[in-house]
Amino acid sequence: MLNHEAIYRAYPLTATVSDDYGAFDADGNPITLDQTLVDAAAAEIQAELDATQYQRNRQPEYPSLATFADAYYWAQKGDNTKMDEYVAACDAVKAKYPKPE
């Protein structure tokens, strides 16, 4: 099976990729693929995904926007208790999934 995303990265003029027929430009001309270039592009893509995995891990665990809105409302009324709880919950998620150095 072809790594479509890596092919598009390695060969920007690629218009379509088919597991059965290969890669083609916008005019339907076949593109001769160099597996070394495709593998290098795949490695770049994987490195980018690895570097941002913490973001995808954090997202579902952050408190909801409604929780923030409620905390903000009460903070405007002078009660920072809920905002402090919201910030603590966000900090806990950040500590659980730290940003890579």
- Domains of the chain: which residue ranges? 4-51, 60-96
Q: What is the average pLDDT across 11-32?
A: 97
Q: Phi and psi at residue 24, in whole multiples of 5°?
A: -140, 150
The confidence score (pLDDT) of residue 101 equals: 82
d(CA 25, CA 17): 9
Q: Please say if the pLDDT value at position 1 is more than 70.
A: no
Tokens describing residue 35:
């597996």
pLDDT above 80: residue 64: yes
Average pLDDT (45-66) is 97
34 pLDDT band, cuts 50/70/90, is very high
Strands in the chain per DSSP E: 14-18, 22-25, 30-31
